[in-house]
Structure 1
Amino acid sequence: MQENTGQQARPVEPGGIHEKDTGSGNVAESGRKVILTTVRLRPEWPVLHYDAGDLPANNGEWVVIPTRHGDEVGQVKGSPVKIQLPEHVSFPRIKRLASTHEIERYYRNLEREEYALNQCAERIHALGLAMKLARVESYFDSSKIVFYYSSDGRVDFRELVRDLVNRLRTRVEMRQIGIRHEAKMVGGLGNCGRELCCAGFLTQFEPVTIKMAKSQNLPLNPSKISGLCGRLLCCLTYEYKTYHALSVGMPNLGTNCETPAGKGKVIRRDILRQRVTVSLENQEVIQFDVSELDGSGSRKKTGRSARSKKGHSAGGARDGQSVPEKTPARRQKRAAPGRKKTETKEKSRGARGRKKTRKKRSSAKSRNRPRSGGRKTRPRSRDSGSKKS
C-alpha cells in the first residue's frame, strides 16, 4: 500500500477543460451561456467536454475537434446541455461535422494502432525489455505514433524505436507514464463495482495520504483502501474535507469527558452523526451527542507541554506545598552551562587556530632550510669530546 504523491509523469490528454490557454479563436467566451457536449476520441477513452456552438452536435454525430497535437475526429456521446460558465473557465469549441472521408480515416487509424500495439509488444518480448505497454495513440494525419508504457526504472529502448520506425514507416515516440495513469488508460472496475474514477471522469490526480483514511474511520486494510494500481483510492479525497471539518469539535478517542451520566472515556466516534460512545466508570457503555458532553472539545495533551505540567505538579504540590516560582537567579544558573559550552567552543577554536599557525611556520622553516646530499648531524660539544678522551 503506497501513498499517492501526485508527482508522476502525466501524459498529454487531448481536449478537456482549459482556462483560456489555446489562443486560437476556437474557445468559447467565458461569462455567458454555452451549449456543452461530450466527445469521445476512442471507444475506451474517457469523454471530453467541448462547446458545440451553433452546430447540431447530437448524440452519435461525428465531429472534428481541436487538440494539443492537431485536429482529431471524435463521436458525440450524450445530448448537448446549456450551462453558464464562470469567468475563469472556458472550453474548446467543435470546429465542424466530420466528412465521410474523415470518418473512414478514423477507422483506419484504429486498425493502425492495433497493428502497432502488436508489433511493439512482440519486439519488447524479443529484446527482453523491462517495460509494460499501456496504450498506443496515432495522430489523425498519421505523422506520429505515441507508445505509452510503464516501467520501474529507466529503459534503453533505442533499438526498439529503430525497429518500430522500420516497420511502421513513421515517427515513433516512447512516453513513460506512472502506475496511476496506466490504470486510467487501461480502465477497469473498482472495489465498489463501478468504473474506475480515473478512467471515467477524473482529469487530474490529487495527492492521497493514509491520514484521509484514518480521519474517516476506515479499516486500514490495504486490500480495502487500495485501488487496482496499488495506490490509495482516489475516492478517499471526496469526503475528507467534510470529515475533517466535522471532527474539529469532537473529542479524540481515549479522552476523558464529563457526561450527564458521569465521567467516562471516549471509545468510539460517529463523525457524521456527531455522536460518541463513552465507557463510564461503572463499566456502562452509552452513546451521547457531542453537545451533551462537558469539555467535549478538549484534546489529549501530549508532548513536551503535558510532560512539563506533569512534572511541575509533582513533588511539592503532591505533599501539599506550593511550588516556588522560578527566580531570575535560577534562570541565570540554568543558562550558565550554555555559556560555559560557548566559552569552551571558542577556546577550542582558538587552540585549533594556533595549531594551524604553528604548522604553517614549521612548514615555512622547512622550505627555507638548505638541502644537503647527506644526513644532517648535530655537532658534538667540547664537553662530550673531553669525556670520550
Structure 2
Amino acid sequence: MIELITATQLDYFDNLYIEMKGDAVERDDYIVAETKRGFEMLRVVKSNYRVPKDNIVEPDGRFVRLATDEDVKAFDKNDGMARESLSFCKEAVVEEKLDMQLVNAKYTLDRKKLIFNFTADERVDFRNLVRILANRFKTRIELRQIGVRDEAKYLGGIGPCGRAHCCSTFLGDFVPVSIQMAKNQDLSLSPTKISGACGRLMCCLNYEDEYYEDAREQMPDVGQTIDTPDGRAVVIGMNILDLVVKVKYKDDYIREYHCDELNAVGEV
C-alpha cells in the first residue's frame, strides 16, 4: 500500500495498481490518480509498506501514472483558475444572501469538476448558486460543507507550539479528543490553552494520552496519605511526565520522590 496526500487529504492506494503499471513510486513523487473526487495529482508521503491484516482499508482510487511535466503545468494552471473561481463565487454568495463562508476552490486535473468547500452553521440551500456557477464555468460544480476542523486543515497555520498545524501537515483522519485527556495530563482547562485554531480541543492532546493514563495508574492521588522512605506524608502535587510525586510531612517539610522509590517502600 502507498499513502498519498493532496490538500491535506490522505488517500490510500493498493500497490497492485502501481505494480500493474510497472512504475516505482517513492516518497515525494507526484502521481496522477482517479479518486472519488475525480482525476487528481497527488504527492506521495509514504511509499510501499506492509499493512497488518486488521488495518487494511479499501483503496481510495486507481493509480493512473507518474505525473509528467504537462500534468504539473496543468495543475498550476488549474490552481490559478480556481482562485479566480473562488472570487467569483464569493460575490455570488453575497448576491444570493447565503449564510455560508467559502474556504477554498479546486479543479480536478482534467477540469471536469470544480469543487468548493465552505462552512456554515446550518444547512444551506445553494441550488441556485450551483446553477449560477455551472453557467459561468461550464463544468460540473460540487459544493461541500465542511466542519471547522476541516477548515483549519485546509487553511493551515502555526500552532502555539510554533510548528505548522498537525492537520495541515501529517495528520490524516481526525481522531476523537476529549477534555478528559487534558485532565489526565494535568493541563489548564482554560479553552484558550487547550484549543486549536479551529476552536476545538487540540489534536495533540491525543498523542501522549496513553502514556499519561498508564503513568497515573502508578501514582497516588493528590491529597492521599502514603508511606515514603522517610515516613508517612500527604501528596500535594505530582509531575506525571517524570513520575515524580511531591509530598508534605506533618512538620511541613516538603520532599519529592520518584514512583520507583515509593513502590519499593510498598514492597517491603
TM-score, structure 1 normalization: 0.59
Q: Tell me, yes or no, if structure 1 residue 86 matches structure 2 residue 55.
A: no
Is the Cα contact below 8 Å between 1:266 and 1:276 reproduced in 2?
yes
Distance in 1 (alpha carbons) for counterparts of 2:177 and 2:206: 7
RMSD: 3.0
> Is 1:187 the equivalent of 2:156?
yes
Show the counterpart of 1:123: 92
What amino acid is the match of 2:179? I
The aligned runs of 1:240-259 (5 Å cut-off) are 240-259=209-228
Equivalent position SS for 1:194? coil
The amino acid of 2:122's aligned partner reads G
Q: Distance in 1 between matches of 2:233 and 2:29?
A: 66
- Give the superposition deviation at 1:209: 1.2
Aligned with residue 191 of structure 2, among 185, 197, 222: 222
> Which runs of 5 or more residues in structure 2 are unaligned?
none
Distance in 1 (CA, whole Å) between partners of 2:72 and 2:227 is: 73
Partner of 1:134: 103
CA 1:112–1:280 in 2, change beyond 3 Å: closer, same or farther?
A: same
Please tell me the residue identity of whatever aligns with 2:33: I
Matches within 5 A, 1:1-389: 36=2, 39-41=4-6, 45=8, 51=15, 53=19, 54-57=22-25, 62-74=30-42, 76=43, 83-87=49-53, 88-89=55-56, 94-99=63-68, 101-293=70-262
After superposition, the C-alpha distances for 1:196-219 in whole angstroms (9 at most, x for unaligned) are 111111111111111111111212
> Which whole-Å CA distance do the structure 1 matches of 2:263 and 2:52 have between them?
46
Contact 1:270 1:276 in 2 (8 A): yes
Instruction: Work out the number of aligned pairs and report it.
Output: 258
Amino acid at match of 2:199: G
d(CA) in 1 for partners of 2:105, 2:8: 12
- Supply the AA of the counterpart residue of 2:259: V
Report the Cα distance in structure 1 between the residues aligned to 2:124 and 2:64, rounded to whole angstroms: 40
Supply the distance in 2 between the matched residues of 1:82 and 1:163 (Cα, whole angstroms).
44
Q: Secondary structure at the match of 1:248?
A: helix
Distance 2:73 2:216 in 1: 57
- 1:65 positional shift: 1.9
User: What TM-score does the superposition give when structure 2 sets the normalisation length?
Assistant: 0.82
Which amino acid is 1:119 matched to?
A: F
The 1:272–1:39 alpha-carbon spacing in structure 2 relative to 1, beyond 3 Å, is: closer
Contact 2:31 2:44 in 1 (8 A): no
- Point out the more displaced range, 148-157 or 182-191: 148-157
* CA offsets 1:87-113 (integer angstroms, 9 cap, x no match): 453766743234555444333322331
Ranges of 4+ aligned residues in structure 1 off by more than 6 Å: 90-93, 294-297
Deviations 1:120-176 (A, max 9, x none): 111122333221111212223333222111111222323322221221122222211
Structure 2 CA distance for aligned equivalents of residues 57 and 294 of structure 1: 52
CA distance in 2, matches of 1:45, 1:224: 25
Q: Which amino acid aligns with 1:86?
A: P
Greater Cα radius of gyration, structure 1 or 2: 1
Instruction: Give the Å deviation of 1:49.
Output: 6.0
CA distance in 1, matches of 2:263, 2:39: 65
- Do the aligned partners of residues 175 and 46 (structure 1) sit closer, same or farther apart at CA in structure 2, a change above 3 Å counting? closer
